[in-house]
Each structure stands twice: as C-alpha cells, then as structure tokens.
Structure 1
Amino acid sequence: MHRHSPINAAARMRSFGAESARGFTLIEVIVVVLLLGVVAGMTVPRLVTGDRRRAEASVAAVAGLLTIIAQRELLGGERLSLEYSAEDGRFRLMALRVRGDWRGDGHAEWGEDPLAPAAVLEGVSLHGALFDGVEADPKRWRWELAPGQPRRALSLVFRTEPRIRPQAAWLIELLPSDSQARISVLNAAEGFGGDPAMGRVIDLDALGLGDSTW
C-alpha cells in the first residue's frame, strides 16, 4: 500500500498557497485596464449622442410649435401667443378664449391650447430671445400675435448644456412673412460674446452660415 510522505504533502501545500497568493501579473493588470478603456470608449459616446439627440429634438419641437402658430395665424380669427418660462424650460402655445356668455358677463382669458403640445427643453437651454431685434426677458416672456396686426419677427438662440461635449448651438427664426420656422446651426463659440441675452441679432451670413440648415 502506497503512503504519501508527510514531507511531500507539506511541500505541495506550500506550493499551492504560493500560487494562490501570487496576485495578478503586470500583463494581466494592463489587459484589464485596456478592456475597461475599451468599454468606457464604447459607452461614453452613446451617452453623449443621446444627450445631443435630446437637445436636437427639443429645438425641433420649439420650431414645430412656432410653425403651428404661423399656420394658425394664416387662418385668422385667433388671438395667440407663445409663452416661455425658464423655471421649467417650457414653451406653450396660448390662446385667448372667452369664458362665459360673450354677450353678457363673459370675459377673455389666456389658456394653453390643447391642440398643440408644449415643447420642453432637454439637454439644451434658451440662450437669448429677440422680438423685432429687441431683447426679451431671459426668464419669462410672452410673444403675442393679434389678428390684423403685423407679426413681430422672433429669433431664438439655443445651446447645449455645459456638460455636453462638444457644444452645439442653434438659431430658430420666424419672420413676419414666414409660414414655417427655420433652424440654422451655429458655431457654439460664435454669436454669444459672453452676454447671456445676446444683445444683438446674429448675422448668419457674417458667420458663413447663411445657407446652413438643420
């Protein structure tokens, strides 16, 4: 009958313990770091792309709301306005409606139009608003359209939130004769001048972006 030597058994135990305690080699550590880098490289662009897409969708939603206003104005007979609040980043189409009996005790008041969904900013903020070249309050404003009166030109500048890289900016314009809002892509480094309310109309031709569309 073969018996294991106590000396050999002790040697094998020491060998096993040494292999278990040796840890990772430098090559193994490098491989793990490289794999983590690859995974991060695949994940971060997806997050950035998602933020950018949400920002673009928000700008498109505002432009769509302006287009609805312009086309509703062509039908005539409605007192409409666009309201903006920086508190919730929401653009709302408002309509003036008569409550009660218009021949007697009825009164007119503004209410959100149920046919046009509000546009809520995500991943982007309003950087400035101009009515006929006049700067609007950056926190809250109302752009009114009265039947039979010329429509004021509206210019809105948006840019992505600081956490989103690379930065991007857009200009939405609705001129008095337009039936559809226009979106132009801006260079995020141009046209702001450190002034959060712009203070001037952005000349796209001067920036070489006059024909740019989004």
Structure 2
Amino acid sequence: MARQPRLAVTGLPHLVLWQGHNRQPVFFDDDDRQAFLALLTDAAAREGAALHGYALLRDAVWLLLTPQRDGALPRLMQAVGRAYVRRFNQRHGRSGTLWEGRYRGTVVAPSELLAALVWLDGEPVRAGLAPAPEGWPWSSHRHYVGLAPQRGLQAPAVWWALGDTPFAREAAYRRRVHDGLPPAHAQRLRDAAVKGWPVGDAAFLAQLQAQTGRRTQPARPGRPRKSPSSDDSSVPK
C-alpha cells in the first residue's frame, strides 16, 4: 500500500518525532543537546514556526510546533537535520547518516494541544531519563513550570488560559503533567505521530480532510463492500 502523503498544515499544531538510525544515540552529551537546541530555535524563528515544546531523548527528539508559513515545517526539519548531522559527525569523528530518515509527525487539533504538550513533557520520565519531568533539563517542562525560562519557546493559548497569573498557570500545568493522561489518550497521541494520522474529533478530521484532500483516518480492514448494483446475485439469470 502506498504511503500516505505527510501532512503539514499551516496554522495548526504538529507533534513530530525524529528517531536515530537503528535507534542509535543522536546525543552523546549536553554539548550535543545544547547545539541542537540552538539550531532548532534559530531555524524556527527563521522559517516561521512557533515552537511550543520539545523533549530531547537519548535516541530521539519529540517536537510540538505550529508552522506559521507554508512549507515552514519541512524547511525547518531539513535545515536542522543537515546542520546538526554535519556538526555531530565532525565532533565525534564519524560519517554517514544519523537520523532514521523521514521524520514522523501528525497534525493536532487545537483542542488536543495542551494534552500533546503534557504528554511530550512526560516522555523523558517514561524513557527512564529522570524520576520526574522537572529532573530532565532537556525538555520544555521546566520552562512551563517556572524553573528555567527558555529562549525560543512560545506558549500556546491553551497554556495561557490555565490561570490569571504566572504562578497560577505554572501550578496548574505542573498538576496536569503530574496527573498525566489516561493511558488510551497517551497511546493515541504516540500512535498518531508514528503513523501520521491527525488527532482530533470527528468534525475536525472531516474539516481537515476537506481542506487537504488527504484521508485523515485509516481505512477499515478488509475488502471494500460491494454496492447492491455490483452484486452478481441481483443480475437476472
């Protein structure tokens, strides 16, 4: 079956996954991570993308961002990927590819944006990198709970709506991340990013399909059902 074209829709949030080739490490130390973040934030500003969140893992990168210009997302990923691989290979005396290939990602409905950010900021804990989200300095979590403001991050409107003061917003967001998402909701976000299916309610998916001309849900398994007119039993013998 042909691969569905990857969605990149201007003005909508995207949850993006970039994995190391054969799950090899893409960061060896904090210098690597700092260099990647610098390239990412500069490219986001240059290409026109609002970076909402990120999590740098050992062998993967998760991003949550909104492209604000047509073509911003693929241009950003290409620019960061090439520049970082060149630096990484020079620094560590290696050659060849670093990334798995195509980055994976999905469009997220605005109503799912806060859930996606909560899920992303909990990913380092699930990966075993820290006992709590605030213990991993290489994600956006510390920015949103007031521990370490970070250049280049743009809080989405749903985060601003969590409270009337910075303290109230930070406390509310901390509770959201601590509570986490229901397992089925969390799995749906991960699967959607890996497989490329958008996340949202039926109305959002229908509108997105009409806008892009691309299927927004997997086809049902099995052969297509025949219409009555194509059923041989309806043809007189």
Length-normalised TM-score, structure 1: 0.24
The structure with the largest alpha-carbon Rg is: 1
Hey, which of these two has a bigger chunk of helix by percent? 2
Higher share in strand: 1
TM-score, normalised to structure 2, is: 0.23
Q: Which has the higher contact order (CA 8 A, sep 6+)?
A: 2
